Amino acid sequence: MVGEAKRQATEDRLGALTLPEGGGWLGAARKDALDRLRAVGLPGRRDEYWRYTDPRPLNAPEPEGAAEAAGDDPFAGIDGFVITVDGDAVIVPDGAPEGLEVDTLRHAAGADIHWAREIYGTREAAGSRPVSRPFGMLNTAFATDGVLLRAKGKVARPVHIRYAPGTDPILHHVVKIEAGATLTLLESGTPGNRGNTALEAEIAEDGALHHLRIQDPDPKRHVNTHFFAALSARSVLKSFTLSAQGAFVRNEGTIDLTGDEGSATIAGAAFGRGDFHHDDTVFVTHDAVDCESRQVFKKVLRDGATGVFQGKILVKEGAQKTDGYQISQSLLLDDDSVFLAKPELEIYADDVACSHGSTTGAIDETALFYLRSRGVSKRDATDLLVLSFLAEALEEIDDEALREHVNDCLAGWLSTH
Amino acid sequence: MTALDDIRVRERAAAEMRAKEGVEAETVEAVKALSGTYKHGWNTEIEMEFAPKGLSEDIVRLISERNDEPQWMLDWRLEAYRRWTRMKEPKWAMVQYPEINFQDQYYYARPASMKEKPKSLDEVDPKLLETYNKLGIPLKEQAILAGVKPAPDDRKVAVDAVFDSVSVGTTFKKELAAAGVIFCSISEAIQEHPELVKKYLGSVIPQSDNYYATLNAAVFSDGSFVYVPKGVRCPMELSTYFRINAENTGQFERTLIIADEGSYVSYLEGCTAPQRDVAQLHAACVELVALDDAEIKYSTVQNWYPGDENGKGGIYNFVTKRADCRGARSKVMWTQVETGSAVTWKYPSCILRGDDSQGEFYSIAIANNYQQADTGTKMVHLGKNTKSRIVSKGISAGKAQNTYRGLVSMHPRAKNSRNYTQCDSLLIGSECGAHTVPYIEVRNNSSRVEHEATTSKVDDDQLFYCRSRGMDEEEAVALVVNGFCKEVLQALPMEFAMEAQQLVAISLEGSVG
């Protein structure tokens, strides 16, 4: 039951949007998502998973402020296949790497039959149970475009989705990794002054998806991202996000381990100051035996910044031999910064080993003193300690070259921001 | 060495061996003696006097009248009642139970013999005394609880016994009064110490706190009251034993403990109920106030009837417990062993208001068969240099669901504060659930918060070791589980530790194989 105020807020927001035209299959998926959204309404502070993040900037019919121009490409120097998302439109160049099929949502909408049909909205709908993701539903219903990737073999070159900021874009990507195939997917840039992006991924048996996202410094960024993934037997998912600055960032991840011996890692490092509000909301569901999952999140907050972590490991009945791990750590560099966490375990199988840890505190005075006594300035010493704190999360990036690259980005930003 | 010496040495060794075996056998016997079904499921046949069924302003007035309460108390109750009628039952806990019909139960039941309040324990109906005797809580002014070997005089325990809606007697009142300690039922305190009750009642748990606390504020019928004056170390342990006996009757007791500056008190709470097919409601409030340098230890062994192995009957235990560490350097320690109740919803909390105050929470929650427990704590750090420690051990077996739910909140002013939280869950069997839902809110950077949680099953190696030493599977599990709970069991006062250890074994009865 949606209360009157919530219903009205939802209709106000929907009133400012137009349902994009599309083919039969896409239209049906959009309508289904819209119905589901109307049934739950847009979130309010009283909704359990929005108690630490005020959804008002996302609820407002119109976004605040104008989009900033895109900064330097943080993946410059990495030989990727770059797909540009210019505001609300996807531009795919020629020469897609071998083993990869690339399409756009706008183009696929016109097709009667499309492989993305099985996935579009399906993962999102599954990820909305039991906790609804209203902005994910909104995304499925109103996405104007998106990248559709289908890996049929081991794709050698990484695919890089590069965002150039637009006005209030809603983008929806679909990734399908077929049996035994592998793909590395990079994302960078800010989609817009208020971006709503969704990524739905299905990884078939023995497949692997490496996802690396950099939300590069943009003090005005308002973005809500969704990552819905389903893993089949023996498949692997590695997802890492580095966030620097941003007024409002909520990255939601919903990972379902549906096949035996799957392995999922979802990790992130974030740092920001001032009105930086950064929220990681992650749900990992174990619904098969012998699976492993890791959630590793680290945040460095200063000058009144707020960090939020809501993570859950759900082990369903029968998901025996599960190994679940979750850690959320936060470093508060001053007295005004805030860290709010809700690390949850929900377990219905007995032969499991699940653990979570969460720590919050200031920078280690002893370490700081040591560095200063060696002649390092306070500022440099702090940067060094922050870097070493965040670097632990970077360990979750498998590819050594990419890890080094992210580490260099981070070090560079720390000294300038 | 002569042959004779040799025989003597062997005999001595054999005697030592026997003694050792004897001790072990005794422990095993003690556990066995207590194992089996719920021990306190019997019912006392006694003439009861009920208020009419249902809940209304008239019932609230009637309860107030029966307790001869002053107008201010009635007004307080009515305000709570009116507020309650506008409130909604909370649904966020991970428990499921059929809708409670608040009009289909009694809110006041007292033994007919209690119509005239007995002036001393000698005047109490022998049937009631017998009930408590049978529960192992003799209401005689004897030094110690049954089952524990005579101890030095300083281990006396004073008991307030609450039977359905009324307190039937309080022991050692005189001796406590000599030390300046007030220990009586709350109904008596309202009559005799209105200034204290007025000052502190509802100051920790306001009438409007939550659905069940508001209900309690409207209809609470009795409970215990403790006031420990400045600088007094309470000369003995205080305890309250709650017994629900009547059918279709809710128990709503309210406990208020005030430890004045520099005082110390240790308080124990026990509870049982008869075995019945229909679920019964228990909604209590416990308020603790610790002023400067005061210390309160509050220990609970909760053993309400948990329902049968098919989930029929049992007590719905919706309890609000909160301590206000109001004074500087005050300290409150909650220890709970939760083995009973069909549904538990309980979060003993500490508001660490005073600078340098400390809160501790040690909990064992065991859920077997169809039991559901959603329990934990809140540590709200408001003062500087405040410390809190949470150790929670949850054990699920059968088809039970066990949830730890907790909040650690560091306010901006709570500089240099510390929290350490450890919650471990143990699963026995593949049909039960164990959940952890912590909330961590840190709003300053000089504080440190650490949270750790693990979930696992009973270790196969440990079980194998016990089995290879000749224990049967159930004994082995009980031993391993007791080891798992050790940290919390050690925090219990001596009188409770033994009982709790045995309860752990009983509660897991039938969970293996």
Res. A78: pLDDT tops 60: yes
Residues of chain B neighbouring A341 (CB-CB closer than 8 A): 438-441, 451
Query: Does residue A12 lie within any of the structural domains?
Result: yes
Residue of B nearest to A332 (CA): B445
Residues of chain B neighbouring A321 (CB-CB closer than 8 A): none
The reported pLDDT for the residue numbered B108 is 86
- How many angstroms separate the CA of residue A287 from the nearest CA in chain B? 14
The reported pLDDT for the residue numbered B1 is 43
Predicted confidence band of residue B302 (pLDDT cuts 50, 70, 90): confident
The reported pLDDT for the residue numbered A201 is 98
Residues of chain A neighbouring B427 (CB-CB closer than 8 A): 347, 349-350, 352
Q: How many CB atoms lie within 10 A of CB B138?
A: 17
Residues of chain A neighbouring B447 (CB-CB closer than 8 A): 360-361
Pick among A310, A346, A350 to test the B interface (most B CBs inside 10 A): A350
- How many angstroms separate the CA of residue B96 from the nearest CA in chain A? 16
The reported pLDDT for the residue numbered A22 is 67
Q: What is the mean pLDDT of chain B?
A: 84
Least confident of A144-158, B254-268, B298-312: B298-312
Residues of chain B neighbouring A351 (CB-CB closer than 8 A): 430, 457
Asked if the Cβ–Cβ distance from A317 to B431 is below 8 Å, we say: yes
- How many angstroms separate the CA of residue B445 from the nearest CA in chain A? 5
Pick among A347, A352, A382 to test the B interface (most B CBs inside 10 A): A347
Res. B19: pLDDT tops 50: no
Q: Over range B133-155, report the average pLDDT.
A: 52
Predicted confidence band of residue B273 (pLDDT cuts 50, 70, 90): confident
Predicted confidence band of residue B274 (pLDDT cuts 50, 70, 90): confident
Residue B429 in contact with partner chain A when CB distance is under 8 A? yes
Query: Does residue A416 lie within any of the structural domains?
Result: no
Could you tell me if A217 and A191 are in contact, meaning their C-beta atoms sit under 8 angstroms apart? no
- How many angstroms separate the CA of residue B381 from the nearest CA in chain A? 14
Q: Where are the alpha helices (DSSP H) in A23-68?
A: 24-40, 56-59
Residue B94's φ and ψ, nearest 5 degrees, are -85, 60
Nearest beta carbon to residue A350 from set B92, B451, B457: B457
Query: Does residue A201 lie within any of the structural domains?
Result: yes
Residues of chain A neighbouring B436 (CB-CB closer than 8 A): 343-345, 356
Asked if the Cβ–Cβ distance from A332 to B425 is below 8 Å, we say: no
Nearest beta carbon to residue A334 from set B439, B445, B448: B445
The reported pLDDT for the residue numbered B18 is 40
Residue B255: name the closest of B335, B321, B317, B180 by CA.
Answer: B321
Res. B415: pLDDT tops 60: yes
Within its chain, how far is the Cα of B26 from the centroid?
A: 27
Quick one: residue B84, left, alpha or beta (phi over 0 = left, psi -120 to 50 = alpha)? alpha
The span from the first CA to the last CA of chain A, in angstroms, equals 45
Asked if the Cβ–Cβ distance from A320 to B430 is below 8 Å, we say: yes
- Cβ-count burial A39-73 (b if 16+ within 10 Å, e if not): ebbbbbeebebbbbbebebbbeeebeeebeebeeb
Pick among A358, A366, A385 to test the B interface (most B CBs inside 10 A): A358
Asked if the Cβ–Cβ distance from B438 to A349 is below 8 Å, we say: no
How many contacts (CB atoms, under 8 Å) link A and B?
115
The reported pLDDT for the residue numbered B251 is 87
Tell me how far CA of residue B206 lies from CA of B79, B283, B287, B331, B350, in angstroms.
11, 15, 10, 21, 15
Query: Does residue A293 lie within any of the structural domains?
Result: yes
Within its chain, how far is the Cα of A242 from the centroid?
A: 10
Asked if the Cβ–Cβ distance from B430 to A351 is below 8 Å, we say: yes
pTM for the whole thing? 0.88
Asked if the Cβ–Cβ distance from A360 to B448 is below 8 Å, we say: yes
Q: Over range B342-347, report the average pLDDT.
A: 93
- How many angstroms separate the CA of residue A34 from the nearest CA in chain B? 27
**Interval A297-341: pLDDT, tens:** 999 999 999 999 999 999 999 999 999 999 999 999 999 999 999
Asked if the Cβ–Cβ distance from B435 to A344 is below 8 Å, we say: yes
- How many angstroms separate the CA of residue B448 from the nearest CA in chain A? 5
Which one of A41-45, B23-27, B90-94 scores highest in mean pLDDT? A41-45
Q: Three-class SS of residue B155?
A: helix
Residue B438 in contact with partner chain A when CB distance is under 8 A? yes
Residues of chain A neighbouring B422 (CB-CB closer than 8 A): none
Res. A246: pLDDT tops 90: no
Asked if the Cβ–Cβ distance from A354 to B446 is below 8 Å, we say: no
More confident residue, A160 or B141: A160
- How many angstroms separate the CA of residue A334 from the nearest CA in chain B? 6
Within its chain, how far is the Cα of B75 from the centroid?
A: 29
Predicted confidence band of residue B141 (pLDDT cuts 50, 70, 90): low
The whole-angstrom separation of Cα A209 and Cα B180 is 72
Q: Over range B135-154, report the average pLDDT.
A: 49
Number of folded domains in chain A?
A: 1
Q: Give A51's DSSP letter.
A: S
Return the structure tokens found at A80.
Answer: 């990727």
- Half-sphere exposure of A223 toward its Cβ, with a 13 Å CA cutoff? 33
Could you tell me if A258 and A287 are in contact, meaning their C-beta atoms sit under 8 angstroms apart? yes
Residue A302: name the closest of A268, A277, A339, A336 by CA.
Answer: A336
Residues of chain B neighbouring A349 (CB-CB closer than 8 A): 427, 430
Residues of chain A neighbouring B448 (CB-CB closer than 8 A): 359-362
**Pairing mode, if any, of strands B433-442 and A338-347?**
antiparallel
Res. A48: pLDDT tops 70: yes
Asked if the Cβ–Cβ distance from A353 to B429 is below 8 Å, we say: no
The whole-angstrom separation of Cα B294 and Cα B267 is 14
Between positions 453 and 472 of B, the ones with CB within 8 A of A are 453-457
Establish whether the linkage from the previous residue to A63 is cis, with ω within 30° of 0: no
Return the structure tokens found at B358.
Answer: 């400390």
**Interval A262-277: pLDDT, tens:** 999 999 999 999 989 9
Between positions 89 and 108 of B, the ones with CB within 8 A of A are 92
Residues of A with CB under 8 A from a CB of B: 48, 317-318, 320, 330, 332-362
Asked if the Cβ–Cβ distance from B432 to A348 is below 8 Å, we say: yes
Asked if the Cβ–Cβ distance from A361 to B453 is below 8 Å, we say: no
Could you tell me if A254 and A280 are in contact, meaning their C-beta atoms sit under 8 angstroms apart? no
Q: Over range B372-384, report the average pLDDT.
A: 96
The reported pLDDT for the residue numbered A193 is 86
Could you tell me if A208 and A182 are in contact, meaning their C-beta atoms sit under 8 angstroms apart? yes
Nearest beta carbon to residue B436 from set A341, A344, A360: A344
Residue with the two structure tokens 């936060």: A330
Res. B120: pLDDT tops 90: no
- How many angstroms separate the CA of residue B394 from the nearest CA in chain A? 12
Asked if the Cβ–Cβ distance from A358 to B457 is below 8 Å, we say: no
Establish whether the linkage from the previous residue to B194 is cis, with ω within 30° of 0: no
Asked if the Cβ–Cβ distance from A317 to B451 is below 8 Å, we say: no
Return the structure tokens found at A387.
Answer: 């870097």
Query: Does residue A85 lie within any of the structural domains?
Result: yes
Residues of chain A neighbouring B454 (CB-CB closer than 8 A): 353-355
Residue with the two structure tokens 């009116």: B82
- How many angstroms separate the CA of residue A231 from the nearest CA in chain B? 23
Nearest beta carbon to residue A339 from set B437, B442, B457: B442
Output the 3-class SS for B386-431: CEEEEEEEEEEECCCEEEEEEEEEECCCCCCCEEEEEEEEEEECCC
Res. B161: pLDDT tops 90: no
Query: Does residue A213 lie within any of the structural domains?
Result: yes
The reported pLDDT for the residue numbered B10 is 53
Nearest beta carbon to residue A357 from set B429, B441, B452: B452
Domain boundaries, chain B: 48-507
Query: Does residue A378 lie within any of the structural domains?
Result: no
Domain that holds residue A119: 4-363
More confident residue, A316 or B159: A316
Residues of chain A neighbouring B379 (CB-CB closer than 8 A): none
Residue of B nearest to A333 (CA): B445
ipTM score assigned to the predicted complex: 0.89
Residue B488's φ and ψ, nearest 5 degrees, are -80, -40
The span from the first CA to the last CA of chain B, in angstroms, equals 52
